Amino acid sequence: MPGREKGPLTEPMYYVLMSFLRREMCGTEVTDFVDRKTKGRVRLGPGTLYTLLARFQDEGMIAETSVDGRKRTYKLTDKGRAAFEEELARLRACVNDGLEEEEAP
Amino acid sequence: MSKLCIRFSPLNGYDIPGLESWLEKQAAKGLVFAMTMGPLVLFERQEPAKLRFHLEPAPSKPDWTDPELNELYEQAGWKYLGLFRNSFAVFVTEDPEAQAHTDPETWDYALKRFLRRKLLGGVGLAILNFVLLNFSWSSQFTPEYIHYYWAEILSYGFLPWILTVLGLVLMDISYLHGLFVLWRLHRQTKSGLPMTPAPGSRLSGALAALSAIPLFLVAVEFAFLCATHGYFPYDLADSNFVTLTEIEGSGFQISQKWPDYMDYISHEYTPLTPESWFFRQYGVGHWNEDGTENRNVPHLEINITRYFLPNLAERRVWEWESWGRGGYRDLEPAYDLDQIRFCEDEHLDGTISYYLILRRGGTVLRVEYRGEQDITQFLPRFAEMIDSL
């Protein structure tokens, strides 16, 4: 299944997709997850997160599962998982290329 | 002192950094954004404070007061204040370092999505242009008429049409500039440059605010027309109008056929058009059996217009005079009238029409009479008619 068509993910995009890998989450949980995971390195502004959730939903990478008051919960779709894995593979390749070059005699 | 304060938004409605900066300046003066009403922005008076504002472009979802949006912002320490013209959700925070958007690509996506929506909104604006211009246009608004008979066409809704054109031109310019502002923000974001207030933003903001004035007047006119049609006829018996019977004598026979006969006074006005009256009568036998007009039958036609200004009525006198083949002359001023003009016009068939134009202040009355009587004998009655209007 094809992943995201429009080039590599930005860091906030990557981490937002990552947050849904293990379970469904609402927006505030995503913020906490990214903050905890990156130890505050990646900042996720509320406007960015809101736009990303809407965008990923439009692109079919996440799907809304429930609404509880002001909270909406989302899950990762197959397309979203493919996009994440594609990006992960790209990042791995980048790291490997860097390591290989660094370790070369 | 009132807790609310109203200001005109001095910037283009799509100039996000300009508007954010303006709201911050107002807050520093103790005016905190509350809501918008058209081009007006309502502020609440509070203690002056150094606040940071963010305008979040309305998402494409129809529920633009999305609770999830507010939830995310509140969790990040922002407070939702309201909507800015249904285009932006306004958030405020005391944290000077707070950032609503931390990913330029995502912010650019939000801007592009907003720009697309506004482009689609242009279709609505084009439809509004078409509907309003068609609604207010009259076939008499030709360049010749506008040049020579502008006082006359005021009676046909020329002022609402001009106000519509003016309001729409101002609004369209402001809208097009707004699209340029958004496109510029998109370019800045894409190039990694800081967003800055757009050039010309103040001017197009002022144009948008100004456009509200003529369009508001047109809206009042439209509402008045919808409610009343602007037409208020009344019975001839209740009027003090001179009739053909009064001129020709009680035994004279008036045609009872429509449209030769009127037993009412046609009376029209709207907030933006001058008040006008019309009345006419013909004697029996106005039409020959072959459908041609019998011009030997007495005829009376009265037109009256009350203008907002005496100068317009004076101009209308000139316009009415220029209709015929000239030959108008002044009659001795009397009956508190400012102008009395009289003319006899002989037609090719030898019949004569008599024209009398009277003006008092902003009211101008034109009588067209065909018959054997001396219409100038009825000057006091026509002056009385003007009094009784």
Among A55, A40, A45, smallest CA distance to A9 is for A55
Do A12 and B102 make contact, defined as CB atoms within 8 angstroms? yes
Express each pLDDT in B334-358 by its tens digit. Answer: 889 999 999 998 888 888 899 999 9
Query: What token pair was written down for B171?
Result: 């609004």
Q: What is the pLDDT of residue A5?
A: 57
Do A48 and B106 make contact, defined as CB atoms within 8 angstroms? yes
Which of B72, B111, B114 should we substitute to test contact with A (largest number of A Cβ atoms within 10 Å)?
A: B72
**A54 has pLDDT over 60:** yes
- Report the C-alpha gap between B6 and B3 in whole angstroms: 10
Q: What region, left, alpha or beta, does residue B331 occupy, with left being phi > 0 and alpha being psi -120 to 50 degrees?
A: beta
- Is residue A9 within 8 angstroms of chain B, CB to CB? no
Contacts of B101 in chain A (CB under 8 A): 45, 47-48, 51
Do A46 and B76 make contact, defined as CB atoms within 8 angstroms? yes
- Report the C-alpha gap between A72 and B68 in whole angstroms: 7
* H-type alpha helices, B34-157: 67-75, 104-136, 143-148, 150-153
**Nearest-CA residue of chain B relative to A6?**
B105
Triad B102, B114, A58: Cα angle to 5°: 75
- Cα distance from A49 to chain B (closest Cα, Å)? 8
Contacts of B100 in chain A (CB under 8 A): 45-48
Contacts of B61 in chain A (CB under 8 A): 54
Q: What is the pLDDT of residue A69?
A: 85
The reported pTM is 0.81
- Is residue A12 within 8 angstroms of chain B, CB to CB? yes
ipTM of the complex: 0.90
- Is residue A51 within 8 angstroms of chain B, CB to CB? yes
- Cα distance from A82 to chain B (closest Cα, Å)? 20
Do A70 and B71 make contact, defined as CB atoms within 8 angstroms? yes
Which of B103, B112, B116, B186 should we substitute to test contact with A (largest number of A Cβ atoms within 10 Å)?
A: B103
Express each pLDDT in B10-49 by its tens digit. Answer: 899 999 999 999 999 999 999 999 999 888 899 999 999 9
Do A12 and B54 make contact, defined as CB atoms within 8 angstroms? no
- Is residue A41 within 8 angstroms of chain B, CB to CB? no
Q: What is the mean pLDDT of residues A79-101?
A: 94
Do B102 and A45 make contact, defined as CB atoms within 8 angstroms? yes
Tell me the residues of chain A between 58 and 97 that have a Cβ less than 8 Å away from chain B: 69-72
Q: What is the pLDDT of residue A1?
A: 39
Three-state SS at B321: helix
Contacts of B117 in chain A (CB under 8 A): none
Phi and psi angles of residue B46, each rounded to the nearest 5 degrees, phi first? -140, 180
Contacts of B67 in chain A (CB under 8 A): 69-70
Q: What is the pLDDT of residue A2?
A: 46
Express each pLDDT in B229-267 by its tens digit. Answer: 999 999 999 899 999 999 998 888 888 887 788 899 999
Query: Could you tell me which residues of chain B have a Cβ less than 8 Å from any Cβ in chain A?
Result: 54, 56, 59-61, 66-73, 75-76, 78, 91, 99-103, 105-107, 109-110
List, edge to edge, every strand of the sheet that includes A25-26. A25-26, A71-76, A62-68
Which stretches in chain B have pLDDT values below 70? 1, 59-64, 324-326
Q: What is the dihedral of CA B250, B255, B261, B264, to 10 degrees?
A: 30
Do A69 and B110 make contact, defined as CB atoms within 8 angstroms? no
- What is the H or E stretch that residue B55 is in? strand B52-57
- Report the C-alpha gap between B236 and B234 in whole angstroms: 7
**Nearest-CA residue of chain B relative to A43?**
B102
- Cα distance from B76 to chain A (closest Cα, Å)? 6
B60, B66, B102 member nearest A48 (Cβ): B102
